[in-house]
Amino acid sequence: MLLASYLVGWLLLTGAFTALARTLDTRQHPLRGPVRLVRGAVLFLTLLTLVGHELGWGDPLTATTWRLNTLRVVETLLWLAVIAAAVGIATHLATTRREGTQYHTRVPKLLLDIVRLILVLVGACFVVSGVWGYDPTGLLTALGVSSIVLGLALQNTLDNVMVGIAVLFERPFEVGDWITVGSITGEVVEMNWRSVRIRTRARDLVIVPNSVIGKETLVNMSRPTKAHAESHVIGFSYDDPPNKVKRVLMGVVRSTRGVLADPVPAIRTVNYAAYSIEYQVRFFIEDYQRQQEINDEFMTRVWYAAKRNHLNIPFPIQTSYEYHGELPKPPDQHKRTAAALASVPVFVPLEPAELDALSHECEQLDFGRGERVVNQGDPGDAMYVVLEGTAIVTITDGTGSEREVARLSRGEFFGEMALLTGDPRTANVTAVDDLSTLVVHKSALESMLHKRPGLAQEMAEIVESRRLGLKAVKDLQIAPPEKQAAVQHAAGELLGRVRRFFGL
């Protein structure tokens, strides 16, 4: 009768735990493992233990040694399953937290392992004394002796574990920090008992034993704050005034993406060297992962900015050639400029002599990928003709986000709107790739317009068509027939303004 009720109880409880396990499974709940263990192993072993006791297999006076030991083995398995389930539940309660539908570990893996080990040792003592009737002190003494032996054998491993524990409590770095240990620099991806795993820039995984971390000097680029200083020493010619160099370098630092405004960047004159005056540029970055890209962008832009501002970056000359023949003629820059101007549609009607005159007043300026040529809202007294590369025209709206208006390539020009009207720049223009431009200043265009008033009419039409393009991007799209009429009408008005502005 009692046996039948054990069986019924087991069936009912198994049914209930199966249902519970299914619910936990669907929610990916961390407790689903322990619950399955109770349903499968604990309940069944409990049933066997109860039946065994009911049949008298647990009575040392009447049962045979074989039956007694069989029941003890079953009970030992039962307690092992109970300990495993309890460890699962306890670690879940102590270590996980829920965020939405996800569960995260709150405590580092190393600490969890220590807690689990202690629970298993306590459970083992309990089984040894409660089920088998032995004195647990014997086990503990055995453990003590064997730990000395093990300790000697595993000296290195224990060294790693102890430093691991120290690192855990001292917390000199966390997962996600960028560190340098010895010659290794990378991002910490995992810390465990034995080692720290670091992913380097070469995308390799380096496993640094904790004992090495304990002995080496460790640099954490992500602490105490994520701000990290980068320093460059750049030499400029003795002919370049230091304050001008500093101003240009500061402009480049400020325009480099990823450089922090605070702490403030600093530029110092550090050395009067053999062939250059050396300047140290120091700025802060936050995203160490992008360190090399940020430095690359900065160093690349220095070259373009130096060229635009007629600054010289000297270099020592290693090889000298002596040539006694006729000197090669330097390429005629003005001829090339005039040829480039002749390919611009609005300048096509100009005579060669007029193009030549214009070319003498133009200047070539080069920009690196991503550099701003023209800023929306700035005053402007020059227009640019694209010689090589592509420029993108964008407008910044009230929220600060940029929208593309057009892309301009070889032969096209920009910056004419502010130049012709005296208004602020209507849009931003940025180099998409390396961009080579010819700059036509107001004075040069002025003399051209005086000679050829028809040019003003043509440019006014282009300006108006572009204005409509800007407007379309800003708000409404305008239908082509209306657009045509609107361009002609507005171009007429604009032409009047241009004539007044240039005194034509």
| Residues found near ligand CMP in the complex (CB under 6 A) | 374, 380, 393, 405-406, 414-418, 425-427, 429, 466, 469-470
Choice between 113 and 458, CB closer to ligand CMP: 458
Could you tell me whether strands 228-236 and 277-285 are parallel, antiparallel, or unpaired per DSSP bridges? antiparallel
- H or E stretch including 444? helix 442-451
> Ramachandran region of residue 97, left (φ > 0), alpha (ψ -120 to 50) or beta?
beta
- Cα–Cα distance, 352 to 258 (Å, whole number): 47
- Cα–Cα distance, 119 to 85 (Å, whole number): 11
Q: Least distance in Å: CB of 428 to ligand CMP?
A: 7
- Helices (H), ranges, 283-439: 291-308, 333-342, 352-360, 416-421
* Minimal CB distance residue for ligand CMP: 469
Q: Least distance in Å: CB of 388 to ligand CMP?
A: 18
Strand order, beta sheet including 266-272:
228-236, 277-285, 266-272
What is the token pair recorded at 287? 């995203």
What is the token pair recorded at 300? 């690349």
- Cα–Cα distance, 329 to 156 (Å, whole number): 73
Q: Least distance in Å: CB of 400 to ligand CMP?
A: 18
Choice between 241 and 377, CB closer to ligand CMP: 377
DSSP for 418-483, please give it. HHHH-PPPSSEEEESSSEEEEEEEHHHHHHHHHH-HHHHHHHHHHHHHHHHHHHHHHS----HHHH
What is the token pair recorded at 30? 């961390």
Choice between 297 and 371, CB closer to ligand CMP: 371
Q: Least distance in Å: CB of 413 to ligand CMP?
A: 7
Q: Least distance in Å: CB of 289 to ligand CMP?
A: 34
- H or E stretch including 431? strand 428-431
Choice between 163 and 418, CB closer to ligand CMP: 418
Choice between 338 and 427, CB closer to ligand CMP: 427
Q: Least distance in Å: CB of 404 to ligand CMP?
A: 10
- Cα–Cα distance, 275 to 262 (Å, whole number): 33
- Cα–Cα distance, 394 to 377 (Å, whole number): 12
Choice between 148 and 485, CB closer to ligand CMP: 485
Choice between 77 and 392, CB closer to ligand CMP: 392
With CA atoms as reference, report the closest residue to 172 among 201, 196, 156, 194: 196
Choice between 131 and 392, CB closer to ligand CMP: 392
Q: Least distance in Å: CB of 473 to ligand CMP?
A: 7
Q: Least distance in Å: CB of 418 to ligand CMP?
A: 3
Choice between 240 and 416, CB closer to ligand CMP: 416
Q: Least distance in Å: CB of 359 to ligand CMP?
A: 21
Buried/exposed code over 161-181 (b: 16+ C-beta within 10 A; e: otherwise): bebbeebbeeeebeeebbbeb
